[in-house]
A and B are shown apart, each in its own frame.
Chain A
């Protein structure tokens, strides 16, 4: 299957700082990318959907000014957690689709710890 890579795999940051997570589709061009967060022993919670070149669509309850998503190209989407706080500590996962008729491929996830 297609490969989606996230970077970094884990990150520790101080409270109040910003952290950027990258999501790349390595061998295909992704028209749509999704961002999720997952708490321990919980399911994935969709945060936002982004299409290349347009603004992301955020799910209800997700602060778009805190979680900045940029889908600048067909192979790269970034999630920036601004002014991070300990409650933002979570596992963040991205996924990407080639087009409407293909399944979504997921990155390996990024473990964010805010101290």
Chain B
């Protein structure tokens, strides 16, 4: 599985847009990029998955440049409840295994 690198932490304020970038320089042709959110003492929650260009759903957007060596999770107008750890995972869609990196701790302040 491709290794991922994310910022350890990020700070933001309510109402702002937050962009979390993940580097995955050795991503393979069959690999997809998936983001999960985790609150303390809870299991991770799926946010979004993409392969290339841009993917958008009701909670986030995922931007993937043409070389696919990085990706950016965009959270529009964050609220206090978006304070959580965000994990970027890269692997084939079959995900024979799911390996988590260190994640990004996002703190949203009033």
Contacts and interface: CB of A to CB of B under 8 A. Distances in A.
Bound pair: A and B?
yes
B13 interface: no
B34 A43 contact: no
Nearest to A34: B98
Q: How large is the interface on B (under 10, 10 to 19, 20 to 34, 35 or more residues)?
A: 20 to 34
B99 A46 contact: yes
Interface string B80-99: 00000001000001111111
Contacts of A107: 43
A105 B96 CA distance: 14
A94 B98 CA distance: 11
Given A43-B87, A43-B102, A103-B34, A34 B41 contact: no
B93 A108 contact: no
Nearest to A106: B43
Interface string B48-73: 01000000000000000000000000
B41 A49 contact: no
A7 to B, nearest CB: 13
Contacts of A6: 43
Nearest to A6: B43
A101 B44 CA distance: 18
A107 B97 CA distance: 17
B98 A101 contact: no
Contacts of A43: 87, 100-103
A26 B41 CA distance: 21
B92 to A, nearest CB: 8
Contacts of B87: 43-44
Given A93-B44, A109-B42, 11 more contacts: A6-B43, A34-B98, A44-B44, A44-B87, A46-B99, A91-B41, A94-B43, A103-B49, A104-B98, A108-B42, A109-B43
